[in-house]
């Protein structure tokens, strides 16, 4: 429900006012009795039918307007005193005059008045950029003028506002819930249908239907209480469509209960639909329509409640809360109070409060103001990210910046600007001294170059490391080492056997023996003698084949290729187990001093130098940190990233893009650096990822933030 109401906030002007003509009130203005204020005092609503705007009046403003016909400040003062015995000042009448003139509520006939009106129109015109900005953030499209329809329809809905109907609705709701719990498995199983393409289509249709019912609920209820509903349509908030109903005329209602009923009518209409849908579901046959009824009974109105009853945005929940608290323009008044309290806490200006509230109400309004600011900060950050990801990158970046600047940076800037304007009023006191000290400390922490270290991703690796595999599918005969054992180069680690290899060796030896017999008896057999040269060549081939098989047999003894430490042995290795040639059975690393490999950006590279000292902190919290020294930084940026620990596609800190072959190319240049431990490392594992905190030239946090922002912008603007 959208309302264009305005709150009259009269500030007493302390300047002297002479007896000036006040001008003539427009004849089309109307005054209606309003609801009681929080102190149970009477109020009135001033209606401007041209702009369909309403202004709340207290007794003083209403009394001044009542005597406005006398035409001058002093005559109005005299008339008010004569009628009520209350003395008012010329400043109060002048303030009322300024208000009426500013809102064009006076008759404009003289040349000066026309000129002022033209100046207001010219000032209200927006430039192209400002127009686009305003209409991107929020604009409305009226679709229907429903007043005649609602006037004809609302008599048929009178029963819905009776206590009898409320009792029937509650009974039907309990009955529907009872029947549904008896078929809960079938009911809950329908939720899977929501995530199908057809289910999404039905969800959109059902949601549109429910929102139309919601807005009709507002419109019919407003019409029931005698209010005109000029338009219904769709509003776009950051390009997101929201149906709206113009129920501004509820300001005519003198009963806050009636206004509260209009505000709650939309949610009430959805609740009626949900109850009816729950009853119908229990009696409908299986099919798409029954699944859609589940949406009506659950998802649509629950999500609608989560949005419409939200008091931090100008939806139903906001107007319900405002009417319940009897506070018109709740948000603006809470924000003004919140800014005043913030200045008092931080600066101790000792300004009078904008309004005098009961301590409990004041506390409630402050909580509301600050939670609204936090909610909006999170909401608009989320919308900014959503806009960026939904639109193509260039437009997404621009609109995201608009969101951040308009909704987050702009309010903060306006408040700081107000502090600067009032700098002459600032006095050193306990609060202002504390605030200034905190600001100075934060500025120093942000802009003073005090950080003398950098953190880079790194991994601990041995200089040499190898995984040992069986040379051929084979059977394990023996494992001669254990995990953590130090071995020498050439030392036997495991013994394997291969029945296929033994069989091939036997066949080769038999073939060689048979051929050798033929060669030895060639002199006694003319046929063998003629083929002697062929047999000699065949013998060479067989001997070569046997040598190859023998060489393969020697490889079945797995030996250490270098002096190393056994860091891993395949689990479940027992004698007689078959092993595939793709199964790594042992992992060895060089028993010498290991090295650390890290990656560093060009900006950070300028801050470090050879022999810089640092600390390597493994990601595994169970492993201790290690002191390291920088040995070298490669002069050329890496082309491809080989270690998956660092790649963003695997959750690492370095942004990469992966091509079709699986190679990972860093988006921004990074250089490989090598570090060495200062002290000996006893517990060496195959690979230990972590990060190194390395000594560097001092730099301010602001420089780092700016660099990160620039990197993100460069990365995200790569099309």
Locus of tokens 């199983």: 189
Examine the domain organization and report whether 292 and 359 are in the same domain: no
Given a contact cutoff of 8 angstroms between Cβ atoms, the answer to whether 704 and 607 are in contact is no
Kindly state the helix (H) or strand (E) to which residue 352 belongs, with its residue range: none
Phi and psi, residue 362, nearest 5°: -60, -45
Kindly state the helix (H) or strand (E) to which residue 492 belongs, with its residue range: strand 492-497
In a domain, 23, yes or no: no
Tokens at 307, concatenated:
């949005």
* Domain stop point among 587, 605, 624: 587
In a domain, 350, yes or no: yes
Examine the domain organization and report whether 120 and 133 are in the same domain: no
- The packing angle between helices 330-347 and 316-325, to 10°, is 80
In a domain, 24, yes or no: no
pLDDT along the chain (719 residues), means of 10: 37 42 82 79 84 84 89 88 87 87 78 59 53 62 91 89 91 90 82 77 84 92 92 82 88 87 91 90 82 78 77 88 86 91 87 87 94 86 74 68 78 86 80 85 85 85 82 88 85 88 87 80 64 78 86 86 83 85 84 80 81 88 88 86 81 82 84 86 70 86 77 61
Q: How many alpha carbons fall within 13 Å on the CB side of residue 106?
A: 23
Question: So what's the pLDDT on residue 141?
Answer: 87
DSSP letters spanning 249-315: GGGG-S-HHHHHHHHHHHHHHHHHHHHHHHHHHTTSPSSHHHHHHHHHHTHHHHHHHHHHT-TTTTS
Examine the domain organization and report whether 257 and 166 are in the same domain: yes
Q: Is 9 helix (H, G, I), strand (E, B) or coil?
A: coil
In a domain, 652, yes or no: yes
Extract long-range pairs of 55-62: CB within 8 Å, 24+ residues apart: 55/6, 55/7, 55/8, 55/103, 56/7, 56/8, 56/251, 56/328, 57/8, 57/31, 60/10, 60/88, 60/92, 61/8, 61/10, 61/96, 62/31
Nearest to 99 by CA among 25, 207, 44, 198: 25
Give the distance, in angstroms, between the CA of residue 264 and the centroid of all CA atoms in the same chain. 30
Examine the domain organization and report whether 271 and 202 are in the same domain: yes
Positive/negative CA dihedral, 283, 284, 290, 296: negative
Q: What distances in angstroms separate CA 360 from CA 345, 363, 407, one per listed residue?
A: 18, 5, 30
Number of domain units in the chain? 5
Examine the domain organization and report whether 321 and 232 are in the same domain: yes
Examine the domain organization and report whether 55 and 90 are in the same domain: yes
Examine the domain organization and report whether 575 and 644 are in the same domain: no
d(CA 708, CA 502): 63
In a domain, 454, yes or no: no
d(CA 579, CA 380): 59
Locus of tokens 């020498």: 488
d(CA 310, CA 378): 14
Given a contact cutoff of 8 angstroms between Cβ atoms, the answer to whether 214 and 267 are in contact is yes
Question: So what's the pLDDT on residue 638?
Answer: 87
Examine the domain organization and report whether 301 and 363 are in the same domain: no
pTM: 0.63
Q: What is the dihedral of CA 428, 434, 437, 438, to 10 degrees?
A: -140
Q: What is the dihedral of CA 328, 332, 337, 340, to 10 degrees?
A: -150
Contacts of residue 423, defined as CB under 8 A and 6 or more positions apart, other chains included, come to none
In a domain, 1, yes or no: no
Phi and psi, residue 24, nearest 5°: -105, 135
Contacts of residue 503, defined as CB under 8 A and 6 or more positions apart, other chains included, come to none
Question: So what's the pLDDT on residue 6?
Answer: 38
Q: What is the CATH number of the domain that holds 704?
A: 2.40.30.170
Question: So what's the pLDDT on residue 257?
Answer: 87
Examine the domain organization and report whether 551 and 660 are in the same domain: no
Kindly state the helix (H) or strand (E) to which residue 431 belongs, with its residue range: helix 430-447
Q: Which domain holds residue 694?
A: 593-716
Examine the domain organization and report whether 378 and 318 are in the same domain: no
Q: Bridge-partner residues for 588, per DSSP?
A: 466, 566
Nearest to 716 by CA among 650, 644, 637, 655: 655
Q: Indicate the length of the chain as a whole number.
A: 719
* Rg, C-alpha atoms of the chain: 42
* Domain stop point among 125, 160, 187: 125
Examine the domain organization and report whether 503 and 404 are in the same domain: no
Nearest to 80 by CA among 523, 89, 591, 338: 89
d(CA 260, CA 221): 11
In a domain, 453, yes or no: no
Output the CA angle 565-571-576, nearest 5 degrees.
105
* Domain stop point among 564, 587, 610: 587
Examine the domain organization and report whether 153 and 279 are in the same domain: yes
Contacts of residue 106, defined as CB under 8 A and 6 or more positions apart, other chains included, come to 23, 24, 25, 26, 100, 113
Question: So what's the pLDDT on residue 199?
Answer: 78
Q: Is 212 helix (H, G, I), strand (E, B) or coil?
A: helix
């Amino acid at each position: 429900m959208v309302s264009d109401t305005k709150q009259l906030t009269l500030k007493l002007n302390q300047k002297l006012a002479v007896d000036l003509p006040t001008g003539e009130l427009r004849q089309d203005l109307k005054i209606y009795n309003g609801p009681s204020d929080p102190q149970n005092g009477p109020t009135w609503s001033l209606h401007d039918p041209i702009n369909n705007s309403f202004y709340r009046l207290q007794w003083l403003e209403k009394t001044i307007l009542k005597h406005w016909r006398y035409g001058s400040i002093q005559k109005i003062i005299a008339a008010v005193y004569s009628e009520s015995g209350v003395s008012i000042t010329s400043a109060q009448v002048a303030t009322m005059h300024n208000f009426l003139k500013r809102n064009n509520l006076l008759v404009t006939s003289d040349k000066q008045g026309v000129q002022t009106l033209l100046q207001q129109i010219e000032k209200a015109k927006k430039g192209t950029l400002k127009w686009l900005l305003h209409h991107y953030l929020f604009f409305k499209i009226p679709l229907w003028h429903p007043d005649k329809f609602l006037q004809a329809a609302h008599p048929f809905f009178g029963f819905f506002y009776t206590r009898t109907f409320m009792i029937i609705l509650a009974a039907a709701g309990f009955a529907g819930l009872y029947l549904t719990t008896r078929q809960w498995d079938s009911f809950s199983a329908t939720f899977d249908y929501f995530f199908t393409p057809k289910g999404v289509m039905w969800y959109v249709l059902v949601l549109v239907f429910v929102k139309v019912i919601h807005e009709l609920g507002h419109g019919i209820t407003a019409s029931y209480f005698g209010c005109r509903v000029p338009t219904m349509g769709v509003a776009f908030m950051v390009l997101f469509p929201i149906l709206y109903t113009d129920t501004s005329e509820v300001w005519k209602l003198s009963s806050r209960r009636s206004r509260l009923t209009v505000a709650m009518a939309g949610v009430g209409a959805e609740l009626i639909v949900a109850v009816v849908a729950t009853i119908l579901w229990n009696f409908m046959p299986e099919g798409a329509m029954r699944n859609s009824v589940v949406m009506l009974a659950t998802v649509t109105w629950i999500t609608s409640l989560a949005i419409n009853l939200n008091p931090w945005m100008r939806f139903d929940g906001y107007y319900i809360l405002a009417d319940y608290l009897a506070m018109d323009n709740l948000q603006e008044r809470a924000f003004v109070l919140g800014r005043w309290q913030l200045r008092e806490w931080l600066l101790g200006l000792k300004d009078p409060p904008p309004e005098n509230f009961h301590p409990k109400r004041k506390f409630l309004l402050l909580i509301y103001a600050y939670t609204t600011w936090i909610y909006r900060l999170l909401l608009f950050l989320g919308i900014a990210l959503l806009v960026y990801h939904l639109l193509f990158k260039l437009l997404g970046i621009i609109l995201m910046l608009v969101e951040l600047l308009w909704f987050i940076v702009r309010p903060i800037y306006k408040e700081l600007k107000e502090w600067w304007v009032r700098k002459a009023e600032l006095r050193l006191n306990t609060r202002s001294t504390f605030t200034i000290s905190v600001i100075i400390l934060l500025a120093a922490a942000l802009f003073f170059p005090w950080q003398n270290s950098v953190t880079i991703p790194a991994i601990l690796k041995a200089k040499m490391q190898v995984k040992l595999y069986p040379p051929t599918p084979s059977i394990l005969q023996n494992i001669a080492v254990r995990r953590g054992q130090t071995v020498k180069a050439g030392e036997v680690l495991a013994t394997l056997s291969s029945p296929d290899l033994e069989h091939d060796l036997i066949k080769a030896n038999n073939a060689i023996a048979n051929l050798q017999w033929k060669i030895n008896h060639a002199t006694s057999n003319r046929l063998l003698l003629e083929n002697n040269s062929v047999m000699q060549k065949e013998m060479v081939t067989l001997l070569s084949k046997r040598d190859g098989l023998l060489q393969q047999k020697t490889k079945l003894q797995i030996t250490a290729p270098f002096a190393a430490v056994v860091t891993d042995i395949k689990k479940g290795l027992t004698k007689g187990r078959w092993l595939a040639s793709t199964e790594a059975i042992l992992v060895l690393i060089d028993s010498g001093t290991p090295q650390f490999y890290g990656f560093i950006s060009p900006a950070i590279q300028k801050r470090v130098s050879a022999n810089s000292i640092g600390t390597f902190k493994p990601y595994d919290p169970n492993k201790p940190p290690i002191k390291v020294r920088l040995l070298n930084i490669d002069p050329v940026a890496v082309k491809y990233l080989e270690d998956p620990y660092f790649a963003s596609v695997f959750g690492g800190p370095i942004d990469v893009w992966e091509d079709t072959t699986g190679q990972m190319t860093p988006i921004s240049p990074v250089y490989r650096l090598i570090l060495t431990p200062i002290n000996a490392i006893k517990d060496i594992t195959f690979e230990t990822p972590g990060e190194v905190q390395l000594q560097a030239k001092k730099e301010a946090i602001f420089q780092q933030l700016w660099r990160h922002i620039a990197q993100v912008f460069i990365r995200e603007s790569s099309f």
